[in-house]
Protein backbone atom coordinates (compact mmCIF):
# COMPACT_ATOMS: atom_id res chain seq x y z
CA UNK A 1 0.00 0.00 0.00
CA UNK A 2 1.50 3.39 -0.97
CA UNK A 3 2.29 5.88 1.78
CA UNK A 4 -0.32 8.54 2.21
CA UNK A 5 0.73 12.13 2.57
CA UNK A 6 -1.31 14.56 4.60
CA UNK A 7 -3.84 16.84 2.95
CA UNK A 8 -4.57 20.18 4.63
CA UNK A 9 -8.02 21.73 4.88
CA UNK A 10 -8.55 25.33 5.97
CA UNK A 11 -12.09 26.36 6.88
CA UNK A 12 -12.88 30.08 6.97
CA UNK A 13 -16.06 31.71 8.20
CA UNK A 14 -16.66 34.93 6.25
CA UNK A 15 -15.50 38.18 7.84
CA UNK A 16 -17.68 40.58 9.88
CA UNK A 17 -20.64 41.78 7.84
CA UNK A 18 -22.86 44.85 7.91
CA UNK A 19 -26.37 44.17 9.17
CA UNK A 20 -28.95 43.67 6.44
CA UNK A 21 -30.79 46.78 5.30
CA UNK A 22 -34.56 46.81 4.78
CA UNK A 23 -35.34 45.13 1.46
CA UNK A 24 -31.77 43.83 1.04
CA UNK A 25 -31.27 40.16 0.30
CA UNK A 26 -29.11 38.28 2.84
CA UNK A 27 -26.98 37.16 -0.12
CA UNK A 28 -25.97 40.82 -0.82
CA UNK A 29 -24.69 41.81 2.64
CA UNK A 30 -21.19 43.34 2.47
CA UNK A 31 -18.22 43.33 4.82
CA UNK A 32 -18.09 46.09 7.40
CA UNK A 33 -14.77 47.95 7.90
CA UNK A 34 -13.68 45.54 10.66
CA UNK A 35 -14.28 42.61 8.31
CA UNK A 36 -12.20 44.31 5.61
CA UNK A 37 -9.33 44.60 8.12
CA UNK A 38 -9.72 41.12 9.63
CA UNK A 39 -9.63 39.15 6.35
CA UNK A 40 -6.10 40.19 5.27
CA UNK A 41 -4.84 39.89 8.86
CA UNK A 42 -6.12 36.32 9.18
CA UNK A 43 -4.57 35.47 5.80
CA UNK A 44 -1.21 36.82 7.02
CA UNK A 45 -1.46 34.64 10.15
CA UNK A 46 -2.33 31.60 8.04
CA UNK A 47 0.61 32.27 5.70
CA UNK A 48 3.00 31.93 8.66
CA UNK A 49 1.63 28.48 9.55
CA UNK A 50 1.37 26.59 6.30
CA UNK A 51 1.88 26.64 2.55
CA UNK A 52 -0.72 28.67 0.71
CA UNK A 53 -3.91 26.95 -0.43
CA UNK A 54 -3.81 25.62 -3.97
CA UNK A 55 -7.56 26.02 -4.36
CA UNK A 56 -10.27 28.06 -2.60
CA UNK A 57 -13.93 27.06 -2.66
CA UNK A 58 -16.37 29.77 -1.60
CA UNK A 59 -20.02 30.49 -1.18
CA UNK A 60 -20.95 33.09 -3.82
CA UNK A 61 -22.70 35.32 -1.24
CA UNK A 62 -21.05 38.76 -1.33
CA UNK A 63 -19.63 38.51 2.21
CA UNK A 64 -18.07 35.09 1.58
CA UNK A 65 -16.60 35.68 -1.89
CA UNK A 66 -15.24 39.06 -0.73
CA UNK A 67 -13.52 37.34 2.20
CA UNK A 68 -12.18 34.63 -0.14
CA UNK A 69 -10.91 37.20 -2.64
CA UNK A 70 -9.15 39.31 0.01
CA UNK A 71 -7.51 36.23 1.52
CA UNK A 72 -6.49 34.85 -1.89
CA UNK A 73 -4.82 38.15 -2.77
CA UNK A 74 -2.97 38.27 0.58
CA UNK A 75 -1.89 34.62 0.27
CA UNK A 76 -0.80 34.95 -3.36
CA UNK A 77 -3.44 32.52 -4.68
CA UNK A 78 -4.34 33.19 -8.34
CA UNK A 79 -7.89 34.43 -8.94
CA UNK A 80 -8.66 31.46 -11.20
CA UNK A 81 -7.98 29.14 -8.25
CA UNK A 82 -10.98 30.66 -6.40
CA UNK A 83 -14.15 28.76 -7.27
CA UNK A 84 -17.66 29.74 -6.23
CA UNK A 85 -20.25 27.06 -5.55
CA UNK A 86 -23.85 27.96 -4.68
CA UNK A 87 -24.17 24.81 -2.57
CA UNK A 88 -21.83 26.43 -0.01
CA UNK A 89 -24.32 29.25 0.69
CA UNK A 90 -25.61 28.49 4.22
CA UNK A 91 -24.56 24.86 3.64
CA UNK A 92 -25.16 22.05 6.11
CA UNK A 93 -22.15 19.96 7.17
CA UNK A 94 -23.36 17.11 4.92
CA UNK A 95 -23.43 19.40 1.87
CA UNK A 96 -20.01 20.85 2.70
CA UNK A 97 -18.55 17.35 2.89
CA UNK A 98 -20.04 16.50 -0.51
CA UNK A 99 -18.69 19.70 -2.13
CA UNK A 100 -15.18 19.12 -0.76
CA UNK A 101 -15.18 15.49 -1.87
CA UNK A 102 -16.30 16.51 -5.35
CA UNK A 103 -14.30 19.71 -5.94
CA UNK A 104 -11.13 19.30 -3.87
CA UNK A 105 -9.38 17.66 -6.82
CA UNK A 106 -5.61 17.31 -6.44
CA UNK A 107 -5.10 20.20 -4.06
CA UNK A 108 -2.74 19.36 -1.22
CA UNK A 109 -4.11 22.40 0.66
CA UNK A 110 -7.76 23.32 0.15
CA UNK A 111 -9.55 26.34 1.65
CA UNK A 112 -13.34 26.59 2.03
CA UNK A 113 -15.07 29.91 2.83
CA UNK A 114 -18.63 29.78 4.09
CA UNK A 115 -21.21 30.59 6.74
CA UNK A 116 -22.40 29.66 10.20
CA UNK A 117 -24.00 27.63 11.61
CA UNK A 118 -22.88 25.04 9.02
CA UNK A 119 -19.20 26.03 9.14
CA UNK A 120 -18.91 25.54 12.91
CA UNK A 121 -20.92 22.31 12.78
CA UNK A 122 -18.73 20.98 9.96
CA UNK A 123 -15.52 21.93 11.82
CA UNK A 124 -16.79 20.20 14.94
CA UNK A 125 -17.70 16.99 13.10
CA UNK A 126 -14.61 16.71 10.88
CA UNK A 127 -12.00 16.88 13.68
CA UNK A 128 -10.95 13.76 15.53
CA UNK A 129 -9.26 15.80 18.26
CA UNK A 130 -11.29 18.71 19.51
CA UNK A 131 -14.73 20.22 19.82
CA UNK A 132 -15.52 23.46 18.04
CA UNK A 133 -18.34 25.33 19.76
CA UNK A 134 -18.20 28.48 17.63
CA UNK A 135 -16.21 29.88 14.74
CA UNK A 136 -16.43 33.67 15.10
CA UNK A 137 -16.47 35.82 11.99
CA UNK A 138 -13.25 35.45 9.99
CA UNK A 139 -12.17 32.44 12.05
CA UNK A 140 -9.62 30.17 10.37
CA UNK A 141 -9.61 26.46 11.26
CA UNK A 142 -6.93 24.23 9.79
CA UNK A 143 -6.70 20.46 9.94
CA UNK A 144 -4.75 17.70 8.24
CA UNK A 145 -6.02 14.40 6.91
CA UNK A 146 -4.15 11.16 6.19
CA UNK A 147 -5.96 10.53 2.92
CA UNK A 148 -4.80 10.27 -0.69
CA UNK A 149 -7.67 12.29 -2.21
CA UNK A 150 -10.45 14.59 -1.02
CA UNK A 151 -12.99 12.02 -2.23
CA UNK A 152 -11.92 9.95 0.82
CA UNK A 153 -12.69 12.71 3.35
CA UNK A 154 -14.80 11.48 6.25
CA UNK A 155 -16.11 12.63 9.63
CA UNK A 156 -13.83 12.69 12.69
CA UNK A 157 -10.61 12.17 10.73
CA UNK A 158 -8.97 15.62 10.99
CA UNK A 159 -5.76 15.90 13.03
CA UNK A 160 -3.46 18.74 14.12
CA UNK A 161 -6.47 21.02 14.36
CA UNK A 162 -5.81 24.72 14.94
CA UNK A 163 -8.45 27.42 15.42
CA UNK A 164 -7.54 31.09 15.07
CA UNK A 165 -9.78 34.15 14.94
CA UNK A 166 -9.30 37.92 14.90
CA UNK A 167 -9.87 38.60 18.62
CA UNK A 168 -7.71 35.67 19.79
CA UNK A 169 -4.89 36.96 21.95
CA UNK A 170 -1.32 35.78 21.78
Give the residue from 154, 132, 121, 161 showing the smallest Cα distance to 10.
Answer: 161
Least confident window among 2-6, 8-12, 46-50, 88-92: 2-6
SS3 27: helix
What pLDDT does residue 169 have?
Answer: 64
Strands 109-114 and 140-145: unpaired
What pLDDT does residue 3 have?
Answer: 46
What pLDDT does residue 2 have?
Answer: 46
pLDDT at 1 over 80: no
Domain boundaries, the chain: 7-17+28-164
Q: Rg of the chain over CA atoms, in angstroms?
A: 15
Architecture of the domain spanning 7-17+28-164: 3-Layer(aba) Sandwich (3.40)
**Taking a C-beta distance cutoff of 8 angstroms, is the pair 68, 12 a contact?**
yes
Rounded CA gap, 142 and 26, in Å?
27
Give residue-wise pLDDT tens across range 72-127.
999 999 999 999 999 999 999 999 999 999 999 899 999 999 999 999 999 999 99
Amino acid sequence: MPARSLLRLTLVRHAKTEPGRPGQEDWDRVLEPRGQRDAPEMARRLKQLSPKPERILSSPAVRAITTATIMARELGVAAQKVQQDERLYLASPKVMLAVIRELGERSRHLMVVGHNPGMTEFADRISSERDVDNMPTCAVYTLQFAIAAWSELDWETGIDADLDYPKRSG
